[in-house]
Structure formats: C-alpha cells, structure tokens
Amino acid sequence: MEDSGVFESRQRAGSRRSVLLGAAASIAGWFALGATPPASAADGDPVRLGRRNEATTTTRIVNVADADTALRARASGPGAIGLQGVSVRGTGVHGLTRDGNGVSGESVFGVGVSGRSIEPGSYAVSGDSESGVGVQGGSHGGIGVQGNSQFGVAVRGGNVSESEPAMHGWAQNGQTGVMGRSSAFDDFEPISSPRHVGVFGVADRSGGRGILARSREGRALQANGRVKFSTSGIAEVAEGNSDVTVAPAFRVARSAKVLATPQGDPGSETTVRFVAVDPVANTFTVHMTAAVAAATPVAWFVFD
C-alpha cells in the first residue's frame, strides 16, 4: 500500500470563514466597478494590456496553424496564476474538443489539475459522461486515483444499475482486486497484498475485523465454492489413546468454540465426548468416550 495521500489528508485545514472571504474577495476583484477602470474600447477594438477590457460579444482568438497554441499566458512567482477564468453563476473555465482533451493540466512536482469546493453538497472536481467514463485517473508507477477526506468519505461509488456494480476493482496481473485496511492513525507498516484474491481485508488490532458482512433479512455471508479456514485442521488420536491435544498457530481465546468430528472409525460406540480449551497454554484437547481401537483422524474447527 502507498501512504502518500495520508499526510495530505492530515494537514490542518484553514478555517471555513477565511476560505469564504478569500473566494469572495477574488470574485469581487474581478467585478468591482471601483477597481481598475475599464479600457475605453468598443467591440472590434484591440485588447489593451494592463486594463480591464469590456465587450458585449464574445472575444475570439483563433490560431489556424496546425498543432499550435491559440493563447498562452504566463505568470511568475510562487502562487501566481497563469490563466484565470471567473463566473459568478456559470462556468469559470470551459474546454471543448472533438477528439482530444477538453481540459488538460500538467505538473512536474505539484498537482496537474486542482479543484476546490467550499459549500456542502458542492463538488471540487466533477466529471460527467453520457456513456463513457466520468472521471479517469492513470499512473505508470503511482496512484491512479486518490481520495482524501479529513472527516468524511474519501471515495464513494454509487449507481442505480441492475447489472453493474457501484465500484469495481480489477487486478489484471493476478494481484488483489480490492484491498481494505483498518489500522491506528500512525500505523504505516506496509502490508503486501496476496495474489489471486478478489477482496482482501486487514484489521490486525485486537477486536478488529478484516471483513464484516451484514444482512438484516438475507444471508450475511454466502460462499459459492469451497471454503478454507485457517482455524481448522486435522488431529490424530493415536491407537489406544482416548484424547489428543492440539496447539494451533493462532491464538485460542477463552470464548473459543471447537467443533470436532471423527474422520475414521474409532471403534464400536466410540465418539467425541467433549473438548477442553486451555487459553493459557493456547491449546485445546479433544476427549473421546473411550480409547480408540485404531489411529483415528479428527477434524476440528475453532470459531468465536
């Protein structure tokens, strides 16, 4: 897992009031009549640099050269803006293309395209497509799409389709399709994802649950295919003995329940009598009703 976005999400956010005031001041600077007086010009006159130009129709700049730039703006210094578009209730910047990119942003060390939203229910970045992809992120060696939130949902997927999932993770080289991890705030221990796994959930802390399934009316968990548990195995009761002690590789809790079933014939009327759990020794012992006539494998399954 990569944790490059964790630090960003933990940075202290500026107060909402200061953000609102800054946005209001920015818009006001564009539209205030008492600021820089507009250039005295009419439709058809040339644009005057260093002045606010007003017109009643659209100003168009066209470059007919092949693969060239129609308009280039450059600003110097930290925090400077190369090109800014402002609209009170419409669209600040609109890019349109037939086969290329409507809006493209590039950055060497920063953010290629950045969006900021202030009010609840608004969107910092929004993508919409009639039948294609609304928002796409790609990376050759990093994170394709990253979502950070201090107190809300970082990434959410939803739809009303009757045949398609709301979120889909597809690992095309045999890796994990979706990985979910729950840990402490300062736990950055890397965890390798297993191969050929659709969903991998990790919660290593005491009381944690790697995957929690819930259903009020249906089945909380259903597996179509074989099921394997690391808390199960086979122990063998030796011939002439009436018990076998198992020391599993996992922690045996005091609340553990153990199911044990003979996988062979232990002898006439001999079966499992009871199972004794010893959480201190981290073992459990399967007791038979009598000594077995032949070595008998016993299948066991431990759950809480």
The pair of three-digit structure tokens given for residue 292, joined into one six-digit string? 């077995």
CA 74 – CA 283 distance, rounded (Å): 72
Beta pairing partners, 301: 232, 259
The answer to whether the CB of 216 falls within 8 A of the CB of 239 is no
Tell me how far the alpha carbon of residue 63 is from its chain's centroid. Answer: 43
Task: Record the pTM.
Answer: 0.69
Among the residue ranges 43-52, 83-92, 158-167, 281-290, the one predicted with the least confidence is 43-52
Q: What is the pLDDT of residue 9?
A: 45
Ordered by start, the domain boundaries in the chain are: 1-129, 171-227, 232-303
Q: What is the pLDDT of residue 17?
A: 57
Smallest Cα–Cα separation from 270: which of 245, 257, 284, 287?
Answer: 287
For residue 8, pLDDT beyond 70: no
In degrees rounded to 5, what are phi and psi of residue 21?
-65, -40
CA 289 – CA 155 distance, rounded (Å): 56
Q: What is the pLDDT of residue 7?
A: 45
Q: What is the pLDDT of residue 135?
A: 87
Q: What value does the mean pLDDT take over residues 127-145?
A: 87
Smallest Cα–Cα separation from 8: which of 135, 187, 122, 147?
Answer: 147
Give pLDDT tens digits for 67-117.
899 888 999 888 888 888 888 888 888 888 888 888 888 888 888 888 888
Edge-first strand listing for the sheet containing 243-246 = 243-246, 283-288, 272-278
Give pLDDT tens digits for 198-235.
999 999 988 899 999 999 999 999 999 999 999 999 99
CA distances from 60 to 57, 201, 234 (A): 9, 54, 79
* Residues contacting 270, CB < 8 A, separation 6+: 288, 289, 290, 291, 292, 293
CA 175 – CA 153 distance, rounded (Å): 25
The answer to whether the CB of 238 falls within 8 A of the CB of 286 is no
Task: Give the highest mean pLDDT range of 25-39, 72-86, 281-295.
Answer: 281-295
CA 116 – CA 54 distance, rounded (Å): 28
